[in-house]
Amino acid sequence: MSLDRTDALNIAQVLTEALPYIQRFTGKTIVVKFGGNAMVDPLLHESFARDVVLMKLVGMNPVVVHGGGPQIGALLEKLNIHTEFVDGMRVTDAQTMDVVEMVLGGSVNKEIVSSINRSGGKAIGVTGKDGRMIRAHKLTVSRDSPGLNEPEIIDIGHVGEVDQIDTEVLSVILESNFIPVIAPIGVGEDGSTYNINADLVAGKLAEVMRAEKLMLLTNVAGLLDKNGQILTGLTTRQVDELIADGTISGGMLPKIRCALDAVKTGVTSAHIVDGRVPHAVLLEIFTDEGMGTLITNKRS
């Protein structure tokens, strides 16, 4: 079927608009945290895979970090294993950790790898335990309690935070022209396995790999002001001010802090992207308008 003149011009305009971005980001590392609706909606899942393949084909180095909360919850329920949350983090005892590792390092990771491979890419799935890539320690949570002079320390089990990331494994994968797909599971000095927030892992990876971009896919349009309008083109100073005045609060706060930390430690820019939109990653990278909230390390 032949294109009419209008369709042909529209395609040419899109490709022309993308060209300077392709030139700018060729050879650059872009860390993408994949989660939310995009993981459980088959059409969004496939569009994400094609986005990543195209990024690789035009010379970028995409690194994918994924979550898997809904899939973990579904299997725990199926196995009749009770689960609870403290400050948004899943309490992870030994039995729950087995399920987390099975889902993140197994089914979810391999599904993403398969999607990328079906779309013409070459992906390899790893966890942070492979080559001791993500070294972690047990996360401690404290909470003020009435009647106690000191905060109460709450044990949430095998939940960890990143100590160090060894990029040797990732370097081998990238140099072999593969796309790494990373499950956010870390390992302790004593060999213990830890479940780590995927946003935090993505942020730390972006930092140590000196990434050009950190992209966090979410289930919202981006960072909103108090009138519900999307904020973008923000500097780190402006984000700090939005946190201080309460514009950024609640569930968005940890994600924004992760993006902010990455940008403050050398990542050129961080993006909060609406993962509910097909091809959101490409739209954010290759178009002038973008697809969410952009945070840069500019000082002005």
Above 60 in pLDDT, residue 147? Answer: no
pTM of the full predicted structure? 0.90
- What's the CATH number of domain 27-296, 3.40.50.2300, 1.20.810.10, 3.40.1160.10, 3.10.105.10? 3.40.1160.10
In the chain, alpha helices (H): 5-25, 37-40, 42-57, 69-78, 94-102, 109-118, 168-175, 198-208, 236-244, 252-264, 280-286
pLDDT of res. 203 = 95
Above 60 in pLDDT, residue 152? Answer: no
Task: Look at the alpha carbons of 298, 207, 281, 245 in this order and tell me if their dihedral is positive or negative.
Answer: negative
The stretch 256-268 carries a mean pLDDT of 90
Question: Which range among 81-90, 147-156, 275-284 has the greatest average pLDDT?
Answer: 275-284
Give the DSSP letter of residue 159.
B
Beta bridge partners of 154: 141
Instruction: Provide the token pair at 169.
Output: 């494994």
- What does residue 78 show for φ and ψ, rounded to 5 degrees? -65, -35
71 contact partners, CB below 8 Å, separation of at least 6: 39, 40, 103, 107, 108
Amino acid identity, position 20: P
Task: Yes or no: say if 30 and 213 are a contact pair by the CB < 8 Å rule.
Answer: yes
Q: Which residue has the tokens 């369709």?
A: 7
Give the count of beta carbons closer than 10 Å to the beta carbon of residue 250.
8
The residues spanned by each domain of the chain are 27-296
The stretch 272-298 carries a mean pLDDT of 85
Tens-digit pLDDT profile for residues 218-245: 888 888 888 888 888 888 888 888 888 8
pLDDT of res. 228 = 80
